[in-house]
Amino acid sequence: MKNLVIVESPAKAKTIEKFLGPDYKVMSSYGHIRDLRKKNFSIDIDHGFSPIYEIPDDKEHVVSELRKAASKADMVWLASDEDREGEAIAWHLYEVLGLKPQTTRRIVFHEITKSAILHAISNPRGIDMGRVDAQQARRVLDRIVGFELSPVLWKKIKPSLSAGRVQSVAVRLICERENEIRSFECTPYYRVSATLAGAGQPFRAELSARLADKDAARRFLSDCHGAELTVGDVTVRPLKKSPAPPFTTSTLQQEASRKLGFTVAQTMMVAQRLYEAGHITYMRTDSLNLSAMAINAIKEKIRTDMGERYIKVRNYHTTSKGAQEAHEAIRPTYFDHATLTDGTVQEKRLYSLIYKRAIASQMADAEIEKTTAEVAISSRREHFTATGEVIKFDGFLKVYIEGHDDDTAAADGDTSILPPLAPGDKVSATAITATERFTQQPPRYTEASLVKKLEELGIGRPSTYAPTISTIQQREYIEKGVHEGVKREFCELTLQPSGAIKETERSEMVGSDKGKLIPTDTGMVVNEFLTRYFPKILDYNFTANVEEKFDAIAEGSLPWADQIRLFYNDFHPDVENAKNMRLEHRVGERQLGVDPKTGQPVSVKIGRFGPLVQIGTGDGDQKPRFASLLKGQSMSEITLDEALQLFDFPRVIGEYEGKDLTVGIGRFGPYVRHDGKYVSIPKTMEPAAVTADEAIELIRSKRDAEAKKVVKTFAEDAEVQILNGRYGVYIAAHGANYKLPRGIADPAALSFEEVMQIVDKQAAAAKDTPKRTAARRKK
């Protein structure tokens, strides 16, 4: 074998193999082939903080195959990604496979196209040890923080908690926003809008000031009855709107969240597939740059489809803190087609977004004429303001309109046309309405807005946003809201032609937190503890400065071990002090009052399985009693009465089939227990109000669902079944699940022999590459 090319993923390998001839074999490392030992600290503090690496069990087979292939190759080409993780993968491959400088080449490319691959092979370079050191520094620092801080959390709050350098700062942002929301006091006011008529055409106008209360609104409307409305200043000014630059990682994550409803992790997963299939350039980048080749291709596409007037070449420059690599922005590799002909629906939607954004970035400004007219009210000092916009030339708007994080910004883009108005013109009011509105609390973060904030603060890098947001949810410090909001009444006052004021009570749904990031009680308590005792770790500037030091290490201007030593010498004593300090109460514990029945104190705190209420202290002979909080209850807001009600459970509510029906509250929420089996009580039902009839109905429903789950069983083997699952019918055999092949119209008609043929075939296919499959799942 003449040439061996090693990349990170099998999908990438498959695409590259198409472009290279028979002299090249392309193999995958399936990500990192070695890492710090999982169960040990794995950092040699006494010898320059050297990391102690190991090859995980699920990578032994991969390494063995790569080592065998490398030994037979005349030349090995390390073609992992060009970012720090990719550079580290290349270095680990070089070290573990025992490669030699004279027979090893490092190649990089930002897109998987034939020209890019051949260009990379013609222009190899060495492994960039600056980037490798930056990756090692990040890995070592994160291991120090995690291994040193986590035991403190176990001791002071509850077992199994963990802390991370960037993750903890992200949790702090969300917790601080939640505290702002909890302390926010909503203030009502009245906003006045009017439908006016001038030159025979209606148009809308808004009062220039808010009115404090209903009495002020009534006075204003009364004063408007019979008042003369006169046009004052009219300004007409041209505006230009410029397109947004092509996507970086963070802006792609934000826009895909707004427009497609994708999570940050979902966006990166789909983008990775598009990149590996050769459809887009590398998706982890903070560069806004486009290559000259890409700009020329975009120009030609615009000229062909829309004409010369729509072209305006733009060269964007990155302004984000610590932009780390000289990549291009995210763009299609080819501009011949605006849509994908193959791929999943998600891939097609994301590709379309990337394509339109890249095309729009090289298009002319939109030309808009904005007219603003003031309308004076003879009986008042305030005035109405009417605004209209006319698009004179659509420019880039023909292709793309950027999304917004809030409804207000989106509403600002709405356009309306005003009739011809001149100063001194008299206009009439066909309707004037004062509507009660309310000051808005700070918005909770979405995944998209959190990425934006992290980027603004210089915390994290393109490769870390998605894993950071996933991790804080997996650790149950943060959860996504599910509530649609609450109903709120508001008042609407309308001026009638007779001068009377009609008052109408209306309602609206407000406060929806669906999809928003909300801290759990555990997240709030951990954040409070870390902020108090480890303020430096959670300081935004400190975290951003660490990222800047990683950038300097990558550039070769800072020795990484020295930076780790400085951090450790400052951080380690704080950890030891925190371990040994004595706290009067458990961290996060809140005293609610006294139980009137026993006279024992009642408190709420974090327990082994989450937030709970405790009656008693355990100091005397009487053991304390515990009850878990219900879903939706918060440690910071639960009252003494609500806490005491939790101890009404478990309680017997009746009998069914000769066995007790018991309602209780467990670790996973409220339930009905009957004959040793449990049925969850839906969120829509109040546990304290569940009747025996309702409990019986829940039991019967669960039995029916379980009966429908089993499509077929087999006398030949009780451990083989055909089942109905969440994603359709499947085979369950001896603890493993198997897909039914397409085209089987009636699964219940399958014989035992036919089922076992399907099982054996799929099991054999999986057995061929068991370690690779495990590696792919891990990745």
Give catalytic residues, as residue numbers.
282
Neighbours of 296 (CB within 10 A): 14
Neighbours of 155 (CB within 10 A): 14
Task: Dihedral sign for Cα 155, 157, 161, 163, please.
Answer: negative
Nearest CA to 588 out of 628, 519, 542, 636 is that of 636
Compute CA 136 distance to the chain's CA centroid, rounded to the nearest angstrom.
26
Q: In sequence order, what are the beta bridge partners of 671?
A: 664, 680
* Cα gap 345→270, rounded to integer Å: 10
Nearest CA to 366 out of 327, 323, 319, 415 is that of 415
* Cα gap 434→56, rounded to integer Å: 68
Residues near 99 by beta carbon (within 8 Å), at least 6 away in sequence: 70, 76, 93
Pairing of strands 24-28, 3-7: parallel
Q: How would you classify residue 53: left for phi > 0, otherwise alpha for psi between -120 and 50, otherwise beta?
A: beta
Nearest CA to 7 out of 35, 34, 29, 23 is that of 29
Nearest CA to 277 out of 327, 334, 360, 328 is that of 334
3-class state of residue 281 by DSSP: coil
CA distances from 625 to 387, 397, 399, 688 (A): 64, 64, 64, 19
Residues near 182 by beta carbon (within 8 Å), at least 6 away in sequence: 636
Residues in the chain: 779
DSSP letters, 523-542, are HHHHHHHHHHH-TTTT-HHH
* Cα gap 779→776, rounded to integer Å: 5
Q: Which helix (H) or strand (E) holds 669?
A: strand 669-674
* Cα gap 14→2, rounded to integer Å: 18
List phi, psi (to 5°) of 313: -70, 130
List phi, psi (to 5°) of 393: -145, 125
Residues near 157 by beta carbon (within 8 Å), at least 6 away in sequence: 522, 525, 526, 529, 586, 587, 588, 606
* Cα gap 40→60, rounded to integer Å: 19
- DSSP strands (E only) in 32-78: 35-36, 43-44, 50-51, 53-54, 75-78
Which amino acid belongs to residue 74? D
CA distances from 49 to 165, 567, 574, 651, 754 (A): 18, 11, 19, 57, 58
* Cα gap 370→234, rounded to integer Å: 11
The CA-based dihedral angle spanning residues 702, 705, 706, 708, taken in that order and rounded to the nearest 10 degrees: 160
3-class state of residue 621 by DSSP: coil
Q: Determine if the peptide bond prior to 650 is cis (ω within 30°).
A: yes
List phi, psi (to 5°) of 284: -110, 95
* Cα gap 485→494, rounded to integer Å: 27
Six-digit token string for 303: 């000229």
Nearest CA to 460 out of 529, 548, 350 is that of 548
Six-digit token string for 30: 């399936």
Neighbours of 570 (CB within 10 A): 10
Six-digit token string for 199: 């030159």
